[in-house]
Amino acid sequence: MRISDLNLLVTFSKERPARLLTDYLQNQGVEAQYILAHEPNGHSVVVHQSQWQIAKTIADEFVADPYATKYQEAAWQQGNSINLPASSWFSSQLIVQNLKQVPLTSIILVVCLLTFGLAFLGILGPYNWLRILPLSDLADNHQWWRIVGPAFIHFSTLHIAFNILWWWMLGKQIEQTFGKSCLLLLFLFTAITSNIAQLLIDGPNFGGLSGVVYGLVGCVWWLGWLKPQWGISLPKPIIIFLLVWLVVGYADILWLHMANTAHTAGLISGCLFAFVLSRFECKQVIPDRDIL
């Protein structure tokens, strides 16, 4: 790139976030460079002037949540490994700040943890209130919240750990980009679709957020393909891993029984949601933040 074609995008007080953002921009196809100036706050990121607007959108999202997994993944793909200070990850103040930034993602995560924790202690009230019933029973008692309820129920530590980690990574990405209303619609659509499909095929004895998680995977995957300019995507190795995991579930070679129908229905409904969303000229909901 010629220097005359470069525009300053953002300046940081530290090197790590500047290099992390540079790697992510390059991973997204943006011509970006890291520049060190011999002055305070001199860690700058510059981009080609023709790509400044899309780079600005990505930079605003980065500043809102620089600890998102996708930025470290981009650094790995670029051949770098940039570790933000470990103490920052475990700071209670930072945890609370991250939870407040994505309230809906945080609420659903906390409800899942509370439901699991109470069941572990033998308190089954929330479990009994949330578990799904046959459609004929729901038609009689009108307890329609139960068609969403299984998303909050988990049966083992491994089960809930897998689901909430993926929910946190993907849910907050959608909430930060499109807002909590969009995430709520996606959650309800994928939860209802996957739960009813699983109910009709295998009966009411199931639970887990994985149908919704596969819905998020499908949504983020297809948005990255249909609208790459929106800056929301999943690395191909992760997509391949989750699709292989889906196939392994159908092969029934694991020690646990998987809700395969819920996974498949969730994935398809998430892809459909992404297709509908891509028809609209959505503007990313990214608040203005001070530069790091």
CA dihedral over 53, 59, 65, 70, signed as positive or negative? positive
Q: In what order do the strands lie in the sheet with 43-48?
A: 6-12, 43-48, 32-36
> Which among 265, 263, 261 is positioned nearest to 198, based on CA atoms?
261
> Which residue among the candidates 210, 257, 269, 278 is catalytic per the annotation?
210
Q: Has 210 been annotated as catalytic? A: yes
Q: By the 8 A CB rule, do 1 and 33 touch?
A: yes
Q: What is the CA radius of gyration of the chain?
A: 21
- Which residue, chain included where needed, has tokens 């957020």? 209
Contacts of 163 (CB under 8 A, 6+ apart): 112, 154, 208, 209, 210, 213
- Residue 71 near residue 65 (C-beta atoms within 8 A): no
Task: Check 43, 233, 263, 269 and give the catalytic one.
Answer: 263
48 is catalytic: no
**CB atoms near residue 247 (< 10 Å):** 9
Whether the Cβ atoms of residue 11 and residue 43 lie closer than 8 Å to each other: yes
The residue whose two tokens read 């930025």 is: 71
The neighbouring-strand residues paired with 44 are 11, 35
Three-state DSSP at 36 gives strand
Instruction: Cite the active site residues.
Output: 210, 263
